[in-house]
């Protein structure tokens, strides 16, 4: 998805619709969490009439929500995103078409000059302690449909906000709409205009807010054209810092075309863009382009037809679904290794369109169960990394037929010849072929065994390996050179050189924490993971061995920073032992 400095762009168009009222979430509250950037959780509300979305796209910190009967509450969030850039998340509810995902029976698209009514109500809870805006995000497109970034105008209405964040663009003055004063900000992005209205007197609810004066004001400023199409209305929170406790208690939006439109007197055109994709041995997923309704008409749904014969004629005998309001459908209960052919028709109040072009897909072969345990792993070695850590490595196990090695269980004891059990298991489901056991006692010998795991269960244990931790007063004497170059206002590069201490290593792990919110984009000559401010870098298969006193150069990364402070980490550890940092 495309991103801008104040909000991630979200909407995409669907067909003209009728008036629609309130929203309700699932009857039983449910909780969902997201902790990886670029992922999005959505949930249909009120039978699909609205959609909830938890869209954490600019942070890897944990966010959890509870979806209730009328909205949602952010139950876990402690974001630390810089307020001079994009927010960490946009958690919201929408009605319309969002990047190809359309709510059912929505009234959009409606051409701006033909909007007869558009109003909305919302109630929020906005506790102090975070930096956020609570805002409508309303999208217009230059045509009635789009399968990508809307290219018309984005209208935001901030009814409340906390902290330093500001809308995109420039402050161009104030306006009064229905007796309320708003600061007006305007700007442009790569392919669309932005107009933001910031309430001079923040509120936590609005009732039957008339949207038409906002649209008229945007048209008068030249930011919106009257021939562009309203395709989506959203409400939620853009959060930069904190976020816990923010809640939408209720939300509704209604809209209708003007009365001058006349009556529907034409059947739709044949739908286009039908595609069929194999999902499994019994499921094929269909998707198509939203049909453009004739003048004064609304696409009420789509009929779906299926056959195992190419070129079949749609009929009541092969219709598998009618009145589908989305632009996708899952065909289930199919036979494995079979080709199916599909066609669809669009429906409005005047009748049914001609059939679409046919699409086909073949279901996959029936899956075969895993019924064999893995063999015992081999090649287990143990190496002391410090006075409190021992590093393990082993050979990847070969999975039996129809099976996959899902991970490894690691067991440890201070007694040689021990029997692996749940009481001495130190990790389960390790997905790599290495593990560092930390928190150990100095000058102590530890014994290890591992078992491989697949869907049928765990293997017998491997042969035993052992190592003795170093004495408590010892130090590796390692040094890490961390050099920043180049650097601009938002991105930087860093080179890393490791100078090993007195202990030879068969594998290594570097750890540190960033102090200023830096984020690694790509790393070379090491396997990097980042969780919030904490960074872990493990060796590649070709550079894990370090002799005592050896130097390893050529490590580095590209990353982003806040444009203000980019300090070198003050503490970097090698295999759990602190190194001198230059």
* 10-50 tens-digit pLDDT: 322 222 222 233 333 444 568 888 756 556 778 888 888 89
Q: How many CB atoms lie within 10 A of CB 554?
A: 11
Give yes or no: 345 in active site: no
H/E run at residue 408 = strand 407-413
Least confident of 408-417, 474-483, 533-542, 548-557: 474-483
Q: Give the end-to-end CA distance of the chain in Å, rounded to a whole number.
A: 39
Q: What are phi and psi of 507, to 5 degrees?
A: -160, 160
- What CA–CA distance (Å, rounded) separates 84 from 137? 20
For 217, the 3-state DSSP assignment is helix
Average pLDDT over residues 220-230: 89
Q: Choose the catalytic residue: 63, 238, 345, 355.
A: 238
Widest Cα–Cα separation across the chain: 89
Least confident of 1-5, 159-163, 210-214, 242-246: 1-5
Average pLDDT over residues 152-173: 94
Q: Peptide bond preceding 109: is omega within 30 degrees of 0, i.e. cis?
A: yes
H/E run at residue 457 = strand 457-458
* 95-125 tens-digit pLDDT: 998 877 888 888 999 998 888 889 999 999 9
Confidence tier at 81 by pLDDT (50, 70, 90) = very high
- What CA–CA distance (Å, rounded) separates 545 from 31? 45
Closest to 10 (Cα-Cα) out of 150, 152, 189, 142: 150
In the DSSP assignment, the letter for residue 227 is T
Average pLDDT over residues 124-139: 95
Closest to 102 (Cα-Cα) out of 20, 29, 172, 174: 20
- What CA–CA distance (Å, rounded) separates 293 from 268? 6
For 195, the 3-state DSSP assignment is strand
Tokens of 476: 């590796």
Q: Choose the catalytic residue: 154, 189, 345, 355.
A: 154
For 361, the 3-state DSSP assignment is strand
Instruction: Say whether pTM exceeds 0.85.
Output: no
Please name every residue paired with 427 in a beta bridge, in sequence order, or none if there are none: 410
Which residue segments constitute the domains of the chain, with CATH numbers given?
30-261 (2.60.120.180), 275-362 (2.60.40.10), 381-468 (2.60.40.10), 479-581 (2.60.40.290)
414, 406, 542, 468 alpha-carbon torsion, rounded to 10°: 0
H/E run at residue 216 = helix 212-220
Q: Which residues contact 86 (CB under 8 A, 6 or more apart)?
A: 3, 4, 5, 6, 7, 8, 58
The pLDDT of residue 14 is 27
Give the torsion sign (CA, 219, 220, 223, 225).
positive
Closest to 199 (Cα-Cα) out of 122, 108, 89: 122
Give yes or no: 540 in active site: no
Whether the CB-CB separation of 432 and 507 falls below 8 Å is answered with: no
Whether the CB-CB separation of 457 and 367 falls below 8 Å is answered with: no
- What CA–CA distance (Å, rounded) separates 129 from 148? 35
* 344-367 tens-digit pLDDT: 999 988 889 999 999 999 999 887
Q: How many CB atoms lie within 10 A of CB 421?
A: 9
Tokens of 80: 């630390």
Counting beta carbons within 10 angstroms of the beta carbon of residue 488, is it exposed (0 to 12), middle (13 to 18) or buried (19 or more)? exposed
Average pLDDT over residues 318-342: 92
More confident residue, 297 or 205: 205
Q: Helices (H) and strands (E) in the chain — how many of each? A: 1, 43
* 180-214 tens-digit pLDDT: 999 999 999 889 999 999 999 999 999 989 999 89
- What CA–CA distance (Å, rounded) separates 546 from 539? 10
């Amino acid at each position: 998805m495309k991103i801008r400095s104040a909000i991630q762009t979200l909407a995409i168009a669907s067909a003209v619709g009728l008036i629609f009222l309130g929203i309700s979430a699932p009857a039983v509250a449910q909780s969902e969490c997201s902790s990886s950037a670029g992922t999005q959780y959505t949930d249909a509300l009120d039978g699909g009439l609205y959609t909830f979305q938890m869209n954490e796209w600019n942070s890897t910190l944990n966010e959890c929500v509870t979806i209730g009967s009328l909205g949602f509450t952010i139950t876990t969030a402690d974001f630390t995103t810089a307020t001079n850039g994009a927010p960490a998340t946009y958690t919201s509810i929408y009605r319309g078409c969002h990047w190809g995902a359309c709510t059912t029976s929505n009234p959009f698209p409606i051409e701006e000059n033909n909007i007869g009514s558009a109003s909305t109500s919302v109630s929020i809870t906005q506790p102090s302690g975070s930096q956020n805006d609570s805002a409508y995000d309303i999208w217009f497109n230059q045509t009635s449909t789009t399968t990508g970034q809307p290219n018309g105008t984005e209208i935001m209405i901030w009814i409340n906000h906390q902290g330093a964040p500001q809308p995109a663009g420039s402050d161009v003055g104030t306006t009064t709409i229905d007796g309320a004063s708003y600061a007006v900000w305007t700007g442009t992005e790569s392919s669309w205009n932005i107009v933001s209205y910031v309430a001079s007197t923040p509120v936590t609810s609005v009732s039957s807010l008339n949207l038409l004066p906002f649209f008229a004001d945007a048209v008068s400023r030249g930011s919106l054209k009257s021939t562009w199409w309203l395709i989506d209305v959203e409400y939620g929170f853009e959060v930069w810092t904190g976020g816990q406790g923010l809640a939408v208690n209720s939300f509704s939006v209604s809209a209708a075309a003007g009365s001058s439109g006349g009556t529907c007197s034409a059947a739709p055109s044949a739908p286009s863009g039908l595609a069929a994709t194999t999902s499994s041995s019994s499921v094929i997923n269909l998707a198509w382009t939203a049909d453009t309704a004739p003048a004064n008409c609304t696409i009420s749904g789509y009929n779906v037809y299926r056959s195992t014969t190419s070129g079949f004629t749609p009929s009541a005998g092969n219709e598998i679904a009618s009145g589908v309001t989305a632009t996708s459908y899952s065909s289930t209960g199919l036979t494995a290794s079979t080709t199916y052919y599909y066609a669809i028709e669009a429906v409005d109040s005047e009748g049914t369109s001609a059939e679409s072009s046919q699409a086909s897909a073949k279901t996959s072969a029936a899956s075969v169960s895993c019924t064999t345990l893995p063999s015992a792993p081999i090649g287990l070695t143990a190496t002391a990394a410090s006075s409190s850590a021992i590093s393990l490595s082993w050979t990847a196990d070969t999975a039996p037929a129809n099976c996959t090695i899902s991970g490894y269980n690691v067991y440890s004891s201070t007694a040689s010849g021990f029997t692996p059990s749940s009481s001495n298991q130190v990790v389960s489901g390790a997905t790599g072929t290495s593990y560092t056991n930390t928190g150990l006692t100095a000058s102590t010998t530890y014994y290890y065994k591992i078992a491989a795991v697949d869907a049928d269960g765990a293997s017998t244990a491997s042969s035993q390996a052992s190592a003795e931790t170093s004495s408590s007063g010892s130090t590796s004497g390692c040094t890490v050179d961390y050099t920043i170059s180049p650097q601009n206002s938002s991105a930087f590069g860093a080179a890393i050189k490791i100078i090993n201490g007195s202990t030879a290593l068969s594998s290594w792990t570097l750890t540190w924490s960033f102090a200023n919110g830096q984020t690694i984009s790509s790393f070379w000559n090491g396997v990097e993971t980042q969780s919030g401010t904490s960074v872990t870098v493990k060796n590649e298969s070709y550079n894990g061995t370090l002799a005592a006193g050896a130097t390893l150069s050529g490590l580095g990364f590209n990353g982003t920073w806040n444009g203000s402070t980019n300090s070198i980490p003050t503490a970097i550890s090698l295999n759990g032992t602190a190194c001198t940092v230059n």
